[in-house]
Amino acid sequence: MRIAISTGGGDAPGLNAVIRAAVLSARNRGWDVLGSKRGYAGLLGDDDVVPLTGESVRGIMAHGGTILRTTNRGSPFAYPVRNADGSWSEVDRSDEIMENARNLGIDALISIGGDGSLAIAQRLVDKGMRIVGVPKTIDNDVSGTVMTFGFDTAVNTAIEAIDKLHTTAESHDRVMVLEVMGRDAGFIALYAGIAGTADVILVPEIPWAMEKVCEKIRARDAAGRRFSIVVVAEGVTMPSGDVGVMGESLPGQMKRVGGVADTIAREIQERTGKETRSLVLGHLQRGGSPTGYDRLLATRFGGAAVEAVAAKKWGHMVALQSPHIVTIPIVEVLKESKRVEPDHDVVRTARAVGISFGD
Ligand code: F6P
């Protein structure tokens, strides 16, 4: 048996732990393991395909990033090509990847990625490739799994930032607006906001109004709490319909979001007269050593992915359905994305302890 492993999309702390667990489990079964570098680029011949052994994964558990590297613009169905004049085209190289995988003697692929990568994996499964998926995103927005690895580390990074913002906000009687990641889902903002004791949390799933945010800040002021912490998910839409835009995206890449915190901070300052500052935490949330929770979850996913390959669960994704790791069809996962439920007990509890969602 010869399997390959690839990591696609944005990195997440814990990717190396998945690779390590999958490699060690597979090697202990006597299987050969290959790693496709930079997503599918390795399998397409644009990067390396390397043998993975116990030696290759030694000491990587605690490391962020991915030893296989990654890309969020390498779909074999729309592969970006830069033309001589600097413009970009997209070509379908999916037949090529099928052929290369056959030539390399690859029996199955473990594809580790978010919903974009899982959608690509499903299209390759439809073409006959034997794939088992492993969900990955710090945003925690893949459905079918209670949790994705990387999320806990990102939340802890955000909490640390909120703790630090508290002391400076309090010293200056300021409002601090912290923007955390979460393109479509507000899980990082919600969890970090509660654990970091934010006063206002804004998430894409709950419509909000600027005046409600300001009311909360004024009420705190009147009660002698002269500073406030607002945590906002980058994917939040302004009540006017505007979204944050952060730089240009490249062809084959999702539109970049971010920067909404600054707009919110300006309006808060204008309406309340309180000095307000904003901070975009950005990719700090994607880096660093995974937490114990993420190391364990990632290791369980890696081990379960090898079990799923052994059981020929092609087109399935491993998932946490507490307390067990299960496998579910990727097509089911792709039917809907996971979002913060506005009536979830976590949101209700946040409201109960006095956090405003600006609504
Ligand atoms: O999907 C995970 C994520 O961290 C989003 O929250 C964020 O919008 C995006 O990745 C940023 O990706 P990039 O690495 O392309 O800047």
Which residue is closest in CA terms to ligand 1's atom 13?
10
> To test the ligand 1 pocket, which listed residue (69, 151, 181) has its Cβ within 8 A of the most ligand atoms?
181
Q: Are residues 167 and 252 in the same domain?
A: yes
Q: Are residues 105 and 195 in the same domain?
A: no
Evaluate whether residue 327 is within a structural domain. no
pTM value > 0.75: yes
Query: What mean pLDDT, rounded, does the chain reach?
Result: 96
**pLDDT(246) > 80:** no
Max intra-chain CA distance, the chain? 71
Residues in a beta bridge with 91: 79
Ligand 1 atom nearest 235 alpha carbon: 8
139 is catalytic: yes
Give the whole-angstrom CA distance, residue 157 versus residue 150: 11
Which residue is closest in CA terms to ligand 1's atom 12?
10
Q: Are residues 251 and 314 in the same domain?
A: no
Q: Given this model, what pLDDT does residue 248 score?
A: 75
Ligand 1 first shell, C-beta below 6 A: 10, 72, 114, 137-139, 181-183, 234, 256-257, 286
**pLDDT(120) > 90:** yes
Q: Given this model, what pLDDT does residue 256 score?
A: 80
Residues 162-193: tens digit of each pLDDT: 999 999 999 999 999 999 999 999 999 999 99
CB-based contacts of 95, cutoff 8 Å, min separation 6: none
Ligand 1 atom nearest 72 alpha carbon: 15
Taking residues 204-220, report their average pLDDT: 98
Evaluate whether residue 358 is within a structural domain. no
Q: Distance from CA of residue 194 to its chain's centroid?
A: 19
Residues 9-53: tens digit of each pLDDT: 999 999 999 999 999 999 999 999 999 999 999 999 999 999 999
Q: Are residues 112 and 164 in the same domain?
A: no
DSSP conformation class of 207: -
Q: Are residues 203 and 227 in the same domain?
A: yes
Evaluate whether residue 332 is within a structural domain. no
Catalytic residue among 139, 152, 199, 294: 139
Taking residues 272-295, report their average pLDDT: 98
Evaluate whether residue 334 is within a structural domain. no
Q: How many domains does the chain have?
A: 2
Ligand 1 centre distance from Cα of residue 245 (Å): 13
Ligand 1 atom nearest 181 alpha carbon: 6
Residues 97-108: tens digit of each pLDDT: 999 999 999 999
Q: Given this model, what pLDDT does residue 271 score?
A: 98
Q: Are residues 203 and 94 in the same domain?
A: no
Q: Are residues 126 and 275 in the same domain?
A: no
| Beta strand extents in the chain (DSSP E only) | 2-7, 32-36, 49-51, 79-82, 88-91, 108-113, 131-135, 175-180, 200-202, 228-233, 276-280, 316-321, 324-329
